[in-house]
Amino acid sequence: MMLMTSGMLAQEFDKAKMDKLFSIVDTGEQSMGSFSIFQDGVEVYANTIGFIDLKSRKAANANTVYRIGSISKTYTASIIMKLIEDKKLKLNTPLSRFFPKIKNSSRITIEQMLRHRSGIYNFTNTDEYLLMMEKPIGREELVEKITEFGSIFEPDQDFEYSNSNYVLLSIIAEKITKQSFAELIDEMIVKPLGLKLSYFGGKINTANNEAQSFKKIKNWSSTTETDMSIPLGAGSIASTAFDVNTFLTALFQDKVVSSDSRNKMIKIMDGFGLGLISIPFGNKKAYGHNGGIDGFQSMAYYFPKENVTVTYLANGIVYSINDLMIDALSIYFGIDKKLPEFLPAMKLSSNELDKYLGIYSSPDLPISLTVTKEGAQLIGQGTGQEAFPLDAFDVHKFKFDPANLKIEFFPKMGKAVMNQGGMEFELQSEK
């Protein structure tokens, strides 16, 4: 493949093919969201698909605001690094300075929390979180709950992603500055960068062009709405794809934190830096973060060598957001890749689905798969997980694209073969 300069890329990528990609995804109702690419700090492509609420089916646009989920962690890490630059904090400051009741707090450092190496249990993994996520909560009560859940390993002895780390980090920033996290986002990031539509999220208001999020079983339906007093620095920011690109580009231009701080942020351990992760794309490398909250999913990455920033903020996903990003980046970087095809699902009657119903299990899997139906829609559900639709695409064959899952049933033999992520499992029916 002939090498091209970044300027040539900005001029020569196949815009018509990119338009077609998003048209296919939109027409097939495979995703809803906002996409943006920056080249050398300038937006060279943008596309928005889907709508912001179910009732009016009002179309989203480039100024629609989405919850960005854990991409917020990059903003939080930047705020922490700025406090360190201002000598108000150190990477080796112990957590006990702020929260002495948390287990191992005297040995947990700010850096370990930024790197998810603190051992503090991820409170969003608990059953209690599902009961509390839609209700406002005070800072003290939130810290008490995180304290109660304890730790799962000794500090710096392992890695495990934990939203608790970033919730605590945002409260620490509030304690140091005597300002709310919303004020810190505005003062340290939004105003200096001139961001127009980025802020600490609140109750979603579609009248203000804020998108609700959706899931699709047979048809689109609204998802739960987390109260933003809970995720705080782990996932509370709302923004546009354009603004996220602006922030991430500025971060790597040292307009958010110093070059020394940014270099510390991109030092990767266990696949994670300080509020950033690194991903490969062919022979290229990018830094950024993924996000997910309620039905929102998001990805934002910066390619330093190419000076390319790309963000997709979605409020409804059927086609994997990762696959869509790969498709879009392939088009932009001139890599030959076939566009996705979304064939209409085979239509089966409710009675025709009866032969597939039951509970399926395998000694090779820790969970069982329960298969039920809602009208003429087959439904799968793993133990302790959310239900998902299974769409027929061939005789006895069903799929769920967001999880890259395919199942072939053998009704007469009382079994099913499940393929996911390149792995195959044979399941026996317990009915």
What does the DSSP 8-state code read for residue 338? Answer: P
Question: Stretch 75-85: mean pLDDT, rounded?
Answer: 98
Asked if residue 11 has pLDDT above 80, the reply is no
Q: Are 242 and 373 in a shared domain?
A: no
Among 273, 298, 332, the domain boundary falls at 332
Looking at the fold, whether 137 and 40 belong to one and the same domain comes out as: yes
| Residue 130: CATH number of its domain | 3.40.710.10
In the chain, the number of structural domains is 2
Q: Which of 332, 365, 395 is the last residue of a domain?
A: 332
Whether 46 maps to a domain, the answer reads yes
| Same domain? 176 vs 310 | yes
- Identify the band that residue 2 occupies on the pLDDT scale cut at 50, 70 and 90: very low
Q: How many Cα neighbours within 13 Å face the side chain of 195? A: 30
What confidence tier does 37 reach under pLDDT thresholds 50, 70, 90? very high
Distance CA 69, CA 313 (A): 10
Same domain for 275 and 357, yes or no, is no
341 lies in some domain: no
Examine the domain organization and report whether 326 and 364 are in the same domain: no
Chain segment 357-389, per-residue pLDDT in tens? 999 999 988 889 999 999 999 999 998 888 888
Q: Is pLDDT at 273 greater than 80 in this prediction?
A: yes
The answer to whether residues 276 and 407 belong to one domain is: no
Q: Could you tell me the pLDDT band of residue 431, with boundaries at 50, 70 and 90?
A: low
**pTM over the 0.75 mark:** yes
Q: Which of 332, 358, 384 is the last residue of a domain?
A: 332
Task: Give the model confidence (pLDDT) of 202-221 as tens digits.
Answer: 999 999 999 999 998 778 99
Q: Are residues 250 and 354 in the same domain?
A: no
In a domain, residue 188? The reply is yes
* Mean pLDDT computed over every residue of the chain: 94
Return the percentage of the chain with pLDDT > 90, whole number. Answer: 86
Query: Is 66 exposed, middle or buried (CB count within 10 Å of its CB: 0-12, 13-18, 19+)?
Result: buried
| Cross-strand pairs, 408 | 397, 417
Same structural domain for residues 178 and 61? yes
pLDDT band for 3, please (50, 70, 90 cuts).
very low
Q: Are 324 and 25 in contact (CB under 8 A)?
A: yes
The confidence score (pLDDT) of residue 5 equals 38
Q: Residue 382: CA atoms inside 13 Å, Cβ hemisphere, count?
A: 10
**Domain annotation covers residue 124:** yes
Classify residue 322: in a domain, yes or no. Answer: yes
Burial of 295-316, coded b for 16+ CB within 10 Å and e otherwise, reads: bbbbbbbbbeebbbbbbbbbbb
Q: Which tops the pLDDT comparison, 103 or 403?
A: 103
What contacts 322, CB < 8 A, 6 or more positions away?
299
Are residues 173 and 272 located together in one domain of the fold? yes
**CATH code (residue 410):** 2.40.128.50
pLDDT of residue 420: 87
Residues spanned by the domain of 65:
9-332
Which pLDDT score is estimated for 327? 97
CA distance 389 to 401: 10
Q: Which of 100-104, 196-200, 235-239, 420-424 has the lowest mean pLDDT?
A: 420-424
Residue 257 has φ and ψ, to the nearest 5°, of -130, 175
In a domain, 23, yes or no: yes
Same domain, 317 and 366: no
